[in-house]
Amino acid sequence: MTRLLALIPGGIGDQLLCFPMLESLQQQYPQAQIDVVVEPRAKEAYRISRVVKQILTYSFSGRTGPADWGNLIGWIREREYDALITLDKSRLGGLFLWLVGVPKRVGFAGQAGSLFLTDSVPLKANQYAAHMYHDLLTGIDTHQSCPPISINVPRKDIEWSEVEQKRLGLDLSQGYILIHGGSNADHEAKGVGSIYSPSSWRSLIKALQERQPDLPIVLVHSPRDRDWFRAVTEGSSGLKVSTPEDLGKFAAMVAGANLMISTDADAMHLAVAIGTYLFALFGSTNPDLVLPKDERVTVMRSPTGKVADIAPIQVLEKVWSQ
């Protein structure tokens, strides 16, 4: 096989969880070009991909017209792919598979449109999502074990991070605690139960500073989350703030941290890929489905299903007990 395509709906986190599948695909077919079709909001993930060559954006949620659909079909047919792997579960996606003319079409059995697949793979949903997506490779006779998430942070982003850390007055050899409260997009996808209140973040930050006064705390903030940022920083002293403008720079900041504390958000997967110690706060989501079993990953899940109900003192105690 020389040309392979993956259709991957969802956000940045969904793409990162598919990275092991794409990497194994490249190992199986080292001469092949691997391309993807993703949501516009998820294209940024491939800035740090090791294997994907070309990215086309398409709104799988249906916010496109017949012309967009026709253009995508034409784009795929022109490239004469040998095989296609799809995570699209829609009925329209089934018709799409029939029209694109790719000879080998792999997806999960039992989904809408699976009639149009040439190879169906059983869906084992009660496992870590990266392993679940990796199972699709059995449909093209690839039976490797699932590797961990692996990313490639561009050199220029690492250099940016080094300059940024100096700007913040950080000692490059000392490290820091990185705080990420999740973006608006994360919370929209997972609901209000994934939100940790600004007052709780302020209390946790203050307690961390009191317990470890010599270890800097860096708050990562997106310009799109101004209200959350303003509420967290109000009344907080000694807090350092970084605003990476893309995922590569964000990943470089994660790489420089000793510990990242985050809600259930896309950024968790960066810490997993890089090997930075992660402390993740969960609401109703089952963490076993989105995080691997790893000694560098610690999870605290709210018994009520709402992250806001986790007391800062509980987080502090568990952080320092690790």
* Structural domains for the chain: 3-140 (3.40.50.2000), 155-321 (3.40.50.2000)
pLDDT bucket at 64, cuts 50 / 70 / 90? low
Looking at residue 223, its pLDDT comes to 65
Give the SS3 label for residue 262: strand
Rounded CA-CA distance 72/311 in Å is 48
pLDDT bucket at 70, cuts 50 / 70 / 90? confident
pLDDT at 5 over 80: yes
Q: What is the pLDDT of residues 130-179, one digit of tens each?
A: 999 999 999 998 888 999 999 999 999 999 999 999 999 998 888 899 99
Rounded CA-CA distance 212/207 in Å is 9
pLDDT at 112 over 60: yes
Q: DSSP character for 145?
A: P
pLDDT bucket at 288, cuts 50 / 70 / 90? very high
Contacts of 69 (CB under 8 A, 6+ apart): 96
pLDDT at 49 over 60: yes
Looking at residue 160, its pLDDT comes to 97
Write out the two tokens for 187. Answer: 């919370």
Please report, for residues 97, 245, 272, the alpha-carbon distance to residue 292 in angstroms, rounded to integers and kept in the order given: 32, 28, 8
Nearest to 85, CA basis, from 31, 144, 24: 24
- Interval 13-18 mean pLDDT: 97
Looking at residue 287, its pLDDT comes to 96
Alpha helices in the chain (DSSP H): 12-28, 66-79, 91-100, 129-134, 155-167, 184-190, 198-211, 226-233, 247-255, 267-274, 312-321
Rounded CA-CA distance 7/56 in Å is 10
Contacts of 73 (CB under 8 A, 6+ apart): 96, 99, 100
Rounded CA-CA distance 229/234 in Å is 8
